[in-house]
Amino acid sequence: MKAYDVSQSEKTWDVSQSEKTWKDECGVFAIWNHPDSAKLTYLGLYAQQHRGQESCGIVTLHQKQHIIHKGLGLVGDVFNDKNLSLLTGSAAIGHVRYSTTGQNLIGNAQPLTSNLLNGPVAVAHNGNIVNQSILREALQREGSIFQGTNDTEILLHLMARNPSNDLLTAFTESAEQLVGAYSFVVMSEDRILAARDPLGFRPLVLGQLVSDLGMSYVIASESCAFDLIGAEYVREIEPGEILEISKSGLKTKKMNIDQSLYSQKQAPCVFEHVYFSRPDSNVFGMSVYESRKKFGEQLAIESGVDADLVIPIPDSGIAAALGFSQKSGIPFEFGIIRNHYVGRTFIQPAQAIRDFGVRVKLNAQANVLKGKKVIVIDDSLVRGTTSQKIILLLKQAGATEVHMRIASPPTIGPCYYGVDTPEKSQLIASHQSIDEIKNFIGADSLSYLSLEGMFKALSRSPKTFCSACFSGEYPTSLKGVVKKEKTEITV
């Protein structure tokens, strides 16, 4: 329903459509027992802004009431001194969102809030529920009304229909009906829950913040949120774990799992290390920066080539390029400079500039490239159209040979666990050989990191991660995965 998107009616050029390979997903944050809960949540969301730039929101808990502010846009645009000062209370949850299901509507912005019989319940969610259509239709048949097109709403309806008066019980019994990927933070009138799905697709970490004001618990998708506010990393929330934080302290609980639905014991998303997470985060107990460097090192081992320079596609290829350079001994250079003032959309001249979408972000340096054989490193390759433009820029700038190296395996399968990948038909590696892709993008050579090499770089065995986008093997039942109908649009 693109036609209804207001921004499409201006002749602008959406940079994120071509340049950015993978859309980010979502990030969550929660804090318990801090008088400045809203401002710390604001900072926790800001540190995780890379996980979602479409909308954001904060809900605080003040004298058993929820105070809410949500909006479309970046954290720094949606929140200001005035609305943060109105978000009083000593506990809060927050969310940054890139829509994986549901459109970018303010009605889909999270945390979702509701008034259940026992009081207010707010939910922030990172992930994607695989069996959502089955659950949604069943709930609708029983008279549930869905406000948005967001899968997170299903959890609220399940909880609303749960007979238990106890939040932890109602949540647990509801979550156990969900199949898919989720990291949840939930806030009621007197407690916060944090939970990860049974396979632990999405990250979720626990920290603590000690100050003159006492001890506060914090929850975040990525540990970089803790660094900004000066909190200490404690541990991951375990796959299938539900953590309750209240006046009585921490309480942990394990979900009952129907093992027949799963083909692995755990399945943290390897793509968090390939692209999603910030390099300075600790994800699934490992440094993202280190993983990426090792992907580059392994790539150098697997597919070294004679060249003068190793250059990254900034910023996503930087760490891998550094690893490749160090392992291969070929000098690392910034042959492409990125403009960081770039906004989301650009107005094009009437007579289109060639490769405008790439140029507006990236500029190839003739001084560095002229007469050189270069190895270009990127984290992944999806459609190939952007790589094609970049390689053209490099050759125009004087590079004599361009060897493309991708620091992850060919992407052949769409993600159903919260990553907004294109349709399978648009994943170039799903229907073209590496040689065909090489020709399409105009590289002198092209190599991907092997699946085995990726796990070797991580020092892990394959069944300990979800690598469905590379392997095509999905670790859960996929029953109920369908496209939703859209029956209303907000302009």
Q: Which residues are catalytic?
A: 26
DSSP, residue by residue, 359-377: HTTEEE-HHHHTT-EEEEE
3-state SS record for 383-424? CCHHHHHHHHHHHHCCCCEEEEEECCCCCCCCCCCCCECCCH
Q: Is residue 392 a contact point for its own copies (CB under 8 A)?
A: no
For 29, what's the count of Cα atoms within 13 Å in the CB-facing half-sphere? 36
Cβ atoms of residues 303 and 462 within 8 Å: no
DSSP symbols for 251-305: EEEE----GGGBSSS---BTHIIIIIS-TT-EETTEEHHHHHHHHHHHHHHHH--
Q: Does 199 bind its own copies (CB under 8 A)?
A: no
User: Pairing between strand 373-378 and 309-312?
Assistant: parallel
Enumerate residues 233-292 that contact its own copies by CB under 8 A.
278-280, 282, 287, 289-290
Burial class (CB in 10 A: 0-12, 13-18, 19+), 332: buried
Give the nearest distance from C-beta 132 to its own copies in angstroms. Answer: 14
Binding map of its own copies across residues 17-46, x = CB under 8 A, - = no contact: ------------------xx--xx-xx--x
With binding defined as CB under 8 A, does residue 101 bind its own copies? no
Q: Which of 165, 259, 260, 367 binds its own copies (CB under 8 A)?
A: 367
| Chosen residue from 33, 55, 66, 236 binding its own copies by CB under 8 A | 66
Beta carbon of residue 390, minimum distance to its own copies (angstroms, whole number): 14
CB of 463 to its own copies, least distance (A): 25
Contacts to its own copies from residues 134-163, by CB under 8 A: 137, 140-147, 149, 156-157, 160-161
| Prior bond of 227 cis (ω within 30°) | no
Based on CB atoms, which residue is closest to its own copies, 241 or 333? 333
In the numeric block, the tokens 């003159």 are attached to 212
Does residue 14 touch its own copies according to CB under 8 A?
A: no
Considering only 226-234, 243-251, 263-271, 406-414, which stretch makes contact with its own copies by CB under 8 A?
Answer: 226-234
- CB of 305 or CB of 366, closer to its own copies: 366
The residue (of 164 and 445) whose beta carbon lies closer to its own copies is: 164
Least Å distance, CB 351 to its own copies, is: 6
Residue type, 401: E
Q: Is 76 in the site for its own copies (CB under 8 A)?
A: yes
Is 83 a binding residue for its own copies by CB under 8 A? The answer is yes
Query: Which one of 27, 102, 120, 414 is in contact with its own copies (CB under 8 A)?
Result: 120
Cβ–Cβ under 8 Å, residues 216 and 234: no
